[in-house]
């Protein structure tokens, strides 16, 4: 069972490579940010698998903290760092 | 055997990924991309700490490295860009780039020397050194907690934590002494989704902080991790434009900021008088004293980190204008 969990964790880590391509290529800041959010989700999954593999329940707490704080980074991006020319037209009309 | 193989592959992938990310992050000219790479680096770093069986450090890395720092860097970048569009900073950066050359050659010589030295030290370690862990395990009974990391941080070497709290306070004083910040672009009301998310997330963050504080007595957790989760709640509120009232920013904020270090100092002085040693907690009260120290430290750490995020003393600007 342990081998299965670790193999799945390894596979998830490899899928980060695909996300990394998005981070490096972009083209927009939002693409990069969403790739980072995907990394966060994958890291949560990897942590849960490692927690099962090693029987260490504390790793679930690490996963919990990851899941909660990923949202804060995303909000910081949307509220402060999202370049205005990138934002789609519809949302701007909605704000008015 | 197979498990060993897979674990080995996982670890080498993590190690190589970390090195590659660190290099890309430093070499990247696009600052936003560098921040995203830094966040990804924090994620992998936390996973690496987990693989090294240091869940306490992983928790701290998850809360600070991947969570708060990402948001802090993002806002710093936004302010930097608004400064750059206001004043012309392009000429200055060009000059800096030319000046770096000789320094790079120096680094090329110094860094391999440091790497060789560190490699030599690591290779000269005895393969199975218990370090101080046996000493901690024998005295764990008297520490008042059953998590060895908390026992070391709050009891056996409590003065380290005291000094760390003061360092954090000094960092904030440093930021405050730099004066006012760049005026914020007109605060737009937060969209409904964001408002709802914050309403749902802030109570959960506060609950999680309390949980991490409590669980620190017998499992990974503690004041710093709990404090950064609490700070995340504050940062979220600041991000959607819920600034605390100016009256709260003056005296009450300062009281919370010094609450942790002050409690620590009081206990340090009292133990000095009663037990003749700085922060030597009496075993029968150690559990309660640690909980008190950690609770006040968590509040101070949370407030300090959120105040660092807010930056310069904006409330005084308002008073002047």
On chain A, the residues whose CB falls within 8 A of the CB of B24 are 24
Using CB atoms and an 8 Å cut-off, which of residues 73-92 of chain A contact chain B?
Answer: 73, 75-81, 91
Indicate whether B187 and B269 sit together in one domain: yes
Among the listed residues B249, B257, B252, the one whose alpha carbon sits nearest the alpha carbon of residue B319: B249
The reply to whether residue A66 touches residue B62, judged by beta carbons under 8 angstroms, is yes
Dist CA A37 CA A31 (whole Å): 10
Q: Same domain, yes or no, for B80 and B152? A: no
pLDDT of residue B188: 63
Return the pLDDT at B117: 94
DSSP codes joined into one string, B201-226? HHHHHHHHHHHHHHHTTTSS--HHHH
Distance from C-alpha of B252 to C-alpha of B88, rounded to nearest angstrom: 39
| Cβ-proximal residues to B182 (8 Å cutoff; 6+ apart), any chain | B79, B82, B83
Q: Within this chain, do residues B261 and B155 fall inside the same structural domain, yes or no?
A: yes
Distance, CA of B283 to CA of B294 (rounded, Å): 17
Q: Which residue of B has its CA nearest to A2?
A: B3
Note whether B178 and B61 are same-domain residues. Answer: no
Residue B219 shares a structural domain with residue B308: yes
Number of domain units in chain B: 2
- Tell me what pLDDT residue B319 has: 42
Chain-chain contact of A81 with B240 (C-beta, under 8 angstroms): no
Q: Do A36 and B232 touch (CB under 8 A)?
A: no
DSSP state of B312: S
Please check whether residues B193 and B86 belong to one and the same domain. no
Nearest-angstrom CA–CA distance, B147 and B130: 17
Reported confidence tier of residue A87, pLDDT bands at 50, 70, 90: low
Q: Which residues of chain B have pLDDT under 70?
A: 86-100, 179-189, 246-248, 312-321
Contact B82, B182 (CB under 8 A): yes
The whole domain housing B154 covers: 140-321
Angle subtended by helix axes B31-51 and A29-54, to nearest 10: 0
Q: Is residue B127 part of a domain?
A: no
* Structural domain ending residue among the three candidates B90, B107, B129: B90
Distance of CA A66 to the CA centre of its chain: 9
What is the residue-averaged pLDDT of chain A? Answer: 80
Inter-chain contact A80–B75, Cβ cutoff 8 Å?
Answer: yes
pLDDT the model gives residue B116: 94
Question: Cα(B79)–Cα(B290) distance, rounded to whole angstroms?
Answer: 40
Question: Is B113 inside a domain boundary?
Answer: no
pLDDT of B207 reads 92
Q: Which of B192, B295, B317 is nearest to B249 (CA)?
A: B317
Task: Kindly list the distances between the CA atom of residue B207 and the CA atoms of B233, B286, B302, in Å, as whole numbers in the listed order.
Answer: 10, 25, 14
**CA distance linking residue B249 with residue B246, whole number of Å:** 5
Which token pair is B194? 């964001």
- What is the C-alpha radius of gyration for chain B, rounded to an integer number of angstroms? 23
Any idea which residue has 């990923």 for tokens?
A: A70
Contacts made by residues B276-284, CB under 8 angstroms, sequence distance 24+:
B278/B159, B279/B155, B279/B158, B279/B159, B279/B162, B281/B143, B281/B144, B281/B155, B281/B158, B283/B141, B283/B142, B283/B143, B283/B144
Cβ separation A57–B239 shorter than 8 A? no
Q: Is residue B219 part of a domain?
A: yes
Pair of tokens at residue A93: 């009309």
Number of H helices, E strands in chain B: 15, 0
Answer yes or no: do B209 and B318 share one domain: yes
Is B116 part of any domain?
Answer: no
In angstroms, the separation between the Cα of residue B267 and the nearest Cα of chain A is 30
Helix (H, G, I), strand (E, B) or coil at A55: coil
Model confidence band, residue A55 (pLDDT cutoffs 50, 70, 90): confident
Residues 57-86 (B) with a CB less than 8 A from some CB of A: 58-59, 62-63, 66-68, 70-72, 74-75, 77-78
| Domain termination residue (choose one: B52, B69, B90) | B90
In a domain, B19, yes or no: yes
Q: What is the ipTM of this complex?
A: 0.84
Torsion of CA A57, A62, A64, A69, to 10 degrees: 180
- Report yes or no on B95 lying in a domain: no
Tell whether B117 is covered by a domain. no
Answer whether residue A96 shows pLDDT above 70.
no
State the nearest Cα–Cα gap between A51 and chain B, in angstroms. Answer: 9
Contact between chains at A62 and B46 (C-beta distance less than 8 A): yes
> In this structure, what token pair is assigned to residue B34?
């560098």
The answer to whether A36 and B39 are in contact (CB under 8 A) is yes
Tokens of B13: 């992938």
**Is the domain of B146 the same as that of B231?**
yes
Residues B145 and B212 in one domain: yes
For chain B, give the number of residues.
321
B157 inside domain? yes
B200 and B307 fall within a common domain: yes
Based on the fold, state whether residues B156 and B70 are members of the same structural domain.
Answer: no
pTM, to two decimals: 0.80
Q: Stretch A7-13: mean pLDDT, rounded?
A: 87
Using the Cβ of B9 and the Cβ atoms of chain A, whether some distance falls under 8 Å is answered with: yes
Task: Say if residue A94's pLDDT is above 80.
Answer: no
A-B contacts (CB, under 8 Å): 163
Query: Quick one: tokens of A76?
Result: 């910081």
Q: Considering only CB atoms, which chain A residues are within 8 Å of B6?
A: 3, 6-7, 10
Last residue of a domain, one of B90, B118, B149: B90
């Amino acid at each position: 069972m342990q081998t299965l969990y670790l193999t799945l964790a390894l596979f998830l880590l490899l899928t980060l490579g695909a996300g990394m391509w998005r981070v490096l290529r972009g083209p927009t800041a939002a693409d990069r940010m969403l790739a980072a959010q995907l990394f966060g989700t994958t890291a949560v999954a990897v942590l849960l698998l490692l927690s099962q593999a090693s029987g260490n329940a504390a790793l679930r707490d690490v996963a919990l903290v990851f899941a909660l704080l990923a949202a804060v980074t995303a909000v910081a991006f949307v509220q402060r760092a999202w370049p205005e020319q990138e934002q789609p037209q519809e949302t701007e009309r909605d704000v008015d | 055997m197979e498990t060993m193989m897979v674990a080995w592959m996982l670890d080498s992938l993590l190690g190589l990924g970390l090195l590659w990310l660190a290099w890309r992050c430093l070499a990247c000219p696009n600052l936003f991309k560098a921040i995203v790479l830094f966040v990804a680096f924090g994620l992998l770093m936390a996973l690496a700490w987990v693989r090294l069986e240091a869940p306490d450090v992983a928790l701290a890395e998850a809360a600070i490295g991947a969570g708060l720092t990402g948001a802090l860097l993002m806002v710093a970048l936004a302010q930097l860009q608004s400064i750059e569009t206001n004043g012309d900073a392009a000429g200055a950066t060009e000059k800096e780039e030319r000046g770096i050359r000789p320094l790079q050659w120096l680094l090329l010589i110094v860094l391999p020397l440091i790497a060789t030295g560190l490699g030599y030290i690591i290779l000269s370690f005895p393969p199975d050194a218990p370090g101080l862990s046996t000493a901690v395990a024998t005295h764990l009974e008297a520490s008042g907690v059953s998590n060895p990391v908390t026992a070391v941080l709050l009891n056996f070497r409590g003065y380290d934590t005291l000094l760390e709290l003061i360092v954090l306070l000094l960092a904030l004083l440093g930021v405050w002494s730099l004066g006012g910040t760049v005026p914020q672009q007109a605060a737009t009301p937060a969209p409904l989704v964001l408002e709802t998310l914050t309403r749902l997330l802030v109570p959960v963050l506060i609950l999680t902080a309390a949980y991490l504080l409590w669980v620190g007595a017998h499992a990974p957790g503690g004041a710093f991790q709990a404090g950064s989760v609490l700070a995340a709640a504050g940062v979220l509120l600041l991000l959607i434009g819920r600034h605390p009232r100016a009256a709260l920013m003056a005296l009450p904020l300062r009281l919370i900021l010094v609450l942790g270090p002050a409690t620590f100092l009081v206990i340090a002085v009292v133990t000095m008088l009663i037990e003749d040693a700085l922060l030597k907690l009496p075993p029968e009260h150690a559990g309660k004293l640690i909980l008190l120290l950690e609770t006040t430290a968590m509040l101070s750490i949370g407030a300090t980190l959120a105040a660092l995020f807010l930056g310069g003393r904006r409330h005084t600007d308002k008073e002047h204008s």
